[in-house]
Amino acid sequence: MPQHEPRGTVTLARLYAQQGHWDQAADIYRTLLQEDPGREDLQQALAEAETHRSQRAIDGLAPLFREWIELLFRHDRLRRLRRLKGRL
């Protein structure tokens, strides 16, 4: 029966994490934990990678919210201008 080869190693996952590639690091940690679920070091490393992934997702939304707010203000200004034009 062929032995299952992991998609990566702890070393590769650490390299990914050091370079900020949190998705790839988390994927490898998950795979390694499936094969050895009792390893606390892998559980902690996965938790750290997931935290960084979540933070990146939040940080990525900030520019979108700024743009959305700016569009709301533009819309409001246009609505006011149209109302003013209608009164003239």
**pTM, 2 dp:** 0.59
53 lies in some domain: yes
pLDDT in tens, 18-68: 999 999 999 999 999 999 999 999 999 999 999 998 887 777 777 888 888
- Which pLDDT score is estimated for 1? 40
52 lies in some domain: yes
Domain carrying residue 21: 10-63
3 lies in some domain: no
- Which pLDDT score is estimated for 2? 44
User: What is the total count of domains within the chain?
Assistant: 1
DSSP-derived letter for residue 17 is H
| Contact status, residue 9 vs residue 28, Cβ threshold 8 Å | yes
| Contact status, residue 54 vs residue 61, Cβ threshold 8 Å | no
pLDDT at residue 82 above 80? yes
CA 88 to chain centre: 50
| Contact status, residue 75 vs residue 67, Cβ threshold 8 Å | no
